[in-house]
Amino acid sequence: MNAAYARLKSRFARMALVGEAGAVLHWDASAMMPPGGGAARGEQLATLAGLAHEMLTAPSVAEDLAVAEAGSGEWDGANLALMRRAQARAAAVPTELVEASARANSACEKVWRTAKAASDFAAVRPHLEEVVRLQRETASALSAALGLSPYDALMDGYQPGVTAAEVEPVFTAYGAFLAEALPRAEELQARRPAPTSPSGPFPVPAQRALCQRLSERVGLDYAHARLDESLHPFCGGTPTDIRITTFYSEGDFAKSLLGVLHETGHALYERGLPAEWARQPVGEAAGMAAHESQSLIVEMQACRSDAFLTFLGGELHRTFGGNAAPYGTANLAGLWRRVERGFIRVDADEMTYPAHVILRFRLERAMIAGELSVADLPGAWNEGFAALLGRTPPDDARGCLQDIHWHDGAFGYFPSYTLGAMAAAQLMRAARRDNPAMDEELARGELLPLVAWLRDKVHAQGSRFGFQDLLRHATGKPLDPNDFTDHLRARYLN
């Protein structure tokens, strides 16, 4: 390791610490901050982001990167490559464009909140047009610097190394699977007796205690974590100080409980990142699809399995009392593994969820390519939705206005959800193969063996591998969507 690389390591560590400060301030803004603090918080976060950006684009960084030698270690080599990529991305986009985007995103997001409630696409349209215009400009600048297509350059910001050309055939094949599998799943579902909802109210303090207890059981250590409340659940904070949030409703415990298990999956990934590479690019999580694979393997693969539901039903009945019948395994499976052609992505089941993502992937790719105008978005959305799921959204609130992403300038993010779901199925199959006792363990509520496997195969690898190589390392093959469809067949078509 030469002096230039040593300087870079120390600079990237400092940038990461500024990022950690920002992460805690973000959490605070969602979970704690009084409303009057909002304006100042925006300024504080912008200042920290600006400082980190200056640190990354300082001329000395480019100079050091040009002569840096990481030595022969594999981790150091990957680290230096990630540093080069981060600097190239930051340097490619002029500061004025970064700032114009931030302003446009923030203005659009603000209007979107009201427009969504009123299902008023016309109100948000000029703002979204500006967002898309600046995203296209950004994509074009990144494209030139990174040697990727404009859309791939945006996607690379969320899940490095995955291209639209890889995603497209996977999604096309899934569309074909869905066209055949969904009607069959619906038919089988219709033949079974309708599940019974447990009857509440479910007191919030009891829900909170249950959520914390189960996330601890799954492996989250509250000496390094907090569980709080916010309107939109998330996992934030830093690897040694995780902040997960949820939203409780007295009438329904399922949403917060399954949400906390989902966020716990994210949290365990952050907690399991290699401490010896903390605050270095190679010590970070390997992208958003990898991250989503960790939340979904916990929530969807493990916790919604028959085995775990058997354990969970007992826990729930002990916690909330009342009639035991709704807490039986088959009934819980009926409630929480129900396919439905809904309009809302965040409420979707695991079989139809990819359809929501495929729609967005195609539309955003077309918008970035200049082949779809914002004015034509609502129509294209409704048409695409009908083609995939056979229904037409009754309004834009349940159509193209439902997600914050585009209105906040996030283009290229959506594919990560489905890549993550597919990776989760692939990882679960490999973990089951390596540990034949897993379902017996899950039936006893024991996720720690699975988490230990994930820690070893995924978490402890940081960003040493790209998405495909990480899967290769953990499962012996690159992304194989068949593992996901096999999982769906086993769960929904049997």
CB of 222 vs a copy of itself, minimal distance in Å: 6
Q: Which residue, among 413, 457, 464, has the nearest Cα to 82 in the 3D structure?
A: 464
CB of 106 vs a copy of itself, minimal distance in Å: 17
220 versus 316: smaller Cβ distance to a copy of itself: 220
Q: Is 102 in the site for a copy of itself (CB under 8 A)?
A: no
From 231-239, 291-299, 379-387, 417-425, give the range in contact with a copy of itself by CB under 8 A. Answer: 231-239
Cα–Cα distance, 213 to 445 (Å, whole number): 12
Q: Which residue, among 110, 4, 15, 147, has the nearest Cα to 63 in the 3D structure?
A: 4
238 versus 352: smaller Cβ distance to a copy of itself: 238
CB of 227 vs a copy of itself, minimal distance in Å: 10
CB of 275 vs a copy of itself, minimal distance in Å: 11
CB of 41 vs a copy of itself, minimal distance in Å: 7
Q: How many angstroms from the chain centroid is the CA of residue 101?
A: 22
419 neighbors 174 (Cβ within 8 angstroms): no
237 versus 326: smaller Cβ distance to a copy of itself: 237
Written as six digits, the tokens of 430 are 């490999």
CB of 370 vs a copy of itself, minimal distance in Å: 37
CB of 15 vs a copy of itself, minimal distance in Å: 9
- CA distances to 15, 421, 423, 469 from 478, in Å: 32, 14, 9, 7
Q: Which residue has the tokens 């055949």?
A: 180
Q: Which are the catalytic amino acids?
A: 263
Vertex 89 angle, CA 83 and 90, to 5°: 90
Question: Per CB under 8 A, which of residues 5..64 are in contact with a copy of itself?
Answer: 14, 17-18, 20-22, 24-25, 28, 32-37, 39-41, 43-44, 47-48, 51
The contact pattern for a copy of itself, residues 238-277, with x = CB under 8 A and - = no contact, is: xxxx------------------------------------
23 neighbors 236 (Cβ within 8 angstroms): yes
66 versus 223: smaller Cβ distance to a copy of itself: 223
48 versus 111: smaller Cβ distance to a copy of itself: 48
CB of 229 vs a copy of itself, minimal distance in Å: 13
362 neighbors 192 (Cβ within 8 angstroms): no
224 versus 432: smaller Cβ distance to a copy of itself: 224
Q: Of residues 187, 221, 347, 371, which one binds a copy of itself by CB under 8 A?
A: 221
From 234-242, 396-404, 410-418, 449-457, give the range in contact with a copy of itself by CB under 8 A. Answer: 234-242
Q: How many of the chain's residues bind a copy of itself (CB under 8 A)? A: 34
CB of 84 vs a copy of itself, minimal distance in Å: 23
Identify the sign of the CA torsion 77, 83, 87, 88.
positive
37 versus 251: smaller Cβ distance to a copy of itself: 37
Residue numbers at the binding site for a copy of itself (CB under 8 A): 14, 17-18, 20-22, 24-25, 28, 32-37, 39-41, 43-44, 47-48, 51, 221-226, 237-241
